[in-house]
């Protein structure tokens, strides 16, 4: 029984060490030249979430200060979103890739769409089509490139600060032009974004 107790205590101690390690990974010490936006990009979290978690009303941070980093989306969802960005915005400027990722994030927050990134990307529309062509044609299964991954982190950091785009399309290749009836927010590259 004594051996069992000692073994249990050793395992429990390791578990507590892992919990402390996880907490340590959720902190960030501010370095020279950093901003909340840069830190948000690094961790893939919204600046607004950083401000809320650290009880801030402004964007002011000080070198050496320790910030708590809120939980972000899962690595699996980041990867899925980055693969969608690569498939939808390949050949588009970087800003267009950020905007595509932002559309998905905006849909997650919008009452007319599903509540998770995965559900938004896999959504089947009332007409029976997938909301995103790359999910239907298999392009989403190709790995994301570094620029698409960076665009996802930037969109996550920017979350909640855009123009509210929930749609995008390429007017040169679209077969259904109902998007043209929506309120246009911005055009980047060949994509028109709207809400």
Q: Would you mind telling me the total number of residues written for the chain in this entry?
A: 195
The CATH code that applies to domain 75-194 is 1.10.10.2520
Of 74, 28, 38, which Cα lies nearest the Cα of 59?
Answer: 38
Contact between 179 and 192 (Cβ < 8 Å): yes
Question: HEC profile for the chain?
Answer: CHHHHHHHHHHHHHHHHHHHHHHHHCEEECCCCCCHHHHHHHHCCCHHHHHHHCCCCCCCCCCCCEEECCCCCCHHHHHHHHHHHHHHHCCCCHHHHHHHHHHHHHHHHCCCCCCCHHHHHHCECCCCCECCHHHHHCHHHCCCCHHHHHHHHHHHHHCCCCCCCCEEECCCCCCCCHHHHCCEEEEECCEEEEC
Tell me which of 23 and 101 has the higher pLDDT: 101
**What was the pLDDT predicted at 160?**
66
Report pLDDT digits (tens) over 95-109: 999 999 999 999 999
Report pLDDT digits (tens) over 145-179: 999 999 999 999 887 677 889 999 888 887 776 77
Q: Of 12-26, 114-128, 130-144, 147-161, where does mean pLDDT reach its minimum?
A: 12-26
**What was the pLDDT predicted at 14?**
37
User: What is the rounded CA–CA span in Å between residue 120 and residue 166?
Assistant: 11
**What was the pLDDT predicted at 126?**
85
Residue 12 has pLDDT above 50, yes or no: no
Where in the chain are the domains?
A: 26-72, 75-194
Same fold, 26-72 and 75-194: no
pLDDT confidence band for 58 (50 / 70 / 90) = very high
Domain 26-72 has CATH 3.10.350.10: yes
Residue 91 has pLDDT above 50, yes or no: yes
Tell me which of 12 and 116 has the higher pLDDT: 116
């Amino acid at each position: 029984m004594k051996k069992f107790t000692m073994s249990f205590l050793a395992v429990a101690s390791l578990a507590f060490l892992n919990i402390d390690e996880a907490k340590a990974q959720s902190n960030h010490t501010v370095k020279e030249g950093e901003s909340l936006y840069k830190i948000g990009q690094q961790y893939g979290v919204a600046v607004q979430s950083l401000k809320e978690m650290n009880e801030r009303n402004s964007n002011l941070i000080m070198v050496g200060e320790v910030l708590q980093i809120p939980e972000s989306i899962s690595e699996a969802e980041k990867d899925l979103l980055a693969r969608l960005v690569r498939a939808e915005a390949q050949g588009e400027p970087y800003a267009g890739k950020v905007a595509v990722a932002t559309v998905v994030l905006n849909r997650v927050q919008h009452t007319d769409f599903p509540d998770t990134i995965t559900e938004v990307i896999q959504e089947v529309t009332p007409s029976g089509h997938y909301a995103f062509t790359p999910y239907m044609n298999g392009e989403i299964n190709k790995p994301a490139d570094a620029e698409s991954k960076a665009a996802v982190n930037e969109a996550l950091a920017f979350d909640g600060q855009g123009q509210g785009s929930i749609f995008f399309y390429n007017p040169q290749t679209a077969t259904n032009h109902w998007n043209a009836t929506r309120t246009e927010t911005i055009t980047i590259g060949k994509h028109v974004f709207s809400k």
